[in-house]
Amino acid sequence: MIDYTRFKSYLIVEKGIGSICTDSYSQAIKRFINNTGIEAPTKDDAIKYIMTFYASNKSYSHIVNTCLALERYSEYLGTPIKLGRPKKPKKIITGTLTETEIARMFAFCRNIRQKAILGTLAYTGIRNLELCRLLVKDIDFRNNTVFIKGGKGHKDGLVFVSPACSDIVKEYIQHYHRKEEQTLFFSVATNKRDELLRTSAVRKIVKKIAKRAGVKRRVWPHLFRHSLAMNMLLKGCDIYSIREQLRHSYIDTTLIYVHSSPQVMQNRY
């Protein structure tokens, strides 16, 4: 019987892998064992399993994540294997929200909490998990900045926020009496009051607001990050400033937004 707690501890302590990736790898190994019945896979076992992903046209990220999980698991067992990677597809960002759609969503928020969550996502480009971990003291209302501690890749960052969003967050804090050391957002469910807000709860909130606002396509928290970048580009913002706001490690990641919008290139032309 596989001790998944020990496997996750190995990934965190010995490999220095973050909790999100650790959970993902653990789930991938559970799926592998459930589907194959093999607890100690050889390289041939891993190859046969991954080949089923190619046959069923699984996504690039799903294939890569499973390959990494199997490699880490084999290292944990003491029989390391190495698997190849498919060529990364050229990513195109589509379906971003316009400023008008975001404004309409604000109009359909039912309370100041929903407005504060929506505003923080839309105006900072913060990631869902970063939003849930944000502390009240991380917001500098005087300079309209937000400090993000231990973001993706365990990196700290500083991003800007509009004065209008700062005012919304101020009103929210006054209404819910949040203290400096507390998380900005928390669960308001009766049986989970004051618990850390979950990323799944943020997804539900955003989905409900979008539905009330009449946005016909799928809306999720990370879409606001893409939308901020695209709207900044359309307004004429330079690519390096957008990179700093989104805290990308590589400029190539930010350039995806330029390649994704013919209107951006048309405006520059």
Q: What would the pLDDT profile of 153-197 be if each residue is shown by its tens digit?
A: 778 899 999 999 999 999 999 999 888 999 999 987 755 656 788
Residue 213 CA to residue 105 CA, distance in Å, equals 5
| Dihedral sign (CA 58, 60, 66, 70) | positive
Q: How does residue 222 score in pLDDT terms, banded at 50, 70 and 90?
A: very high
pLDDT higher than 80, residue 204: yes
Q: pLDDT, tens digit, for every residue of 32-74?
A: 999 999 999 999 999 999 999 999 998 888 999 999 999 999 9
Given this model, what pLDDT does residue 54 score? 92
pLDDT higher than 90, residue 246: yes
Strand partners, 140: 145
Q: pLDDT, tens digit, for every residue of 110-141?
A: 999 999 999 999 999 999 999 999 999 999 99
CA count, 13 A, side-chain hemisphere, 228 = 26
Given this model, what pLDDT does residue 185 score? 93
Given this model, what pLDDT does residue 10 score? 92
Q: Which residues of 151-181 are buried (b: 16+ CB within 10 A; e: fewer)?
A: beeeeebebebeeebbebbeebbeebebeee
Residue 196 phi/psi, 5-degree rounding, is -60, 135
Q: How does residue 269 score in pLDDT terms, banded at 50, 70 and 90?
A: confident
Residue percentage of the chain with pLDDT more than 70: 97
Torsion on CA atoms 228, 229, 232, 234, rounded to nearest 10:
-110
**Is 145 in contact with 166 (CB distance < 8 Å)?**
no
Given this model, what pLDDT does residue 87 score? 84
pLDDT higher than 80, residue 220: yes
pTM for the full predicted model? 0.78
Residues in CB range of 27: below 8 A, 6 or more apart = none
Residue 104 CA to residue 213 CA, distance in Å, equals 6
Name the 3-class secondary structure at 151. coil
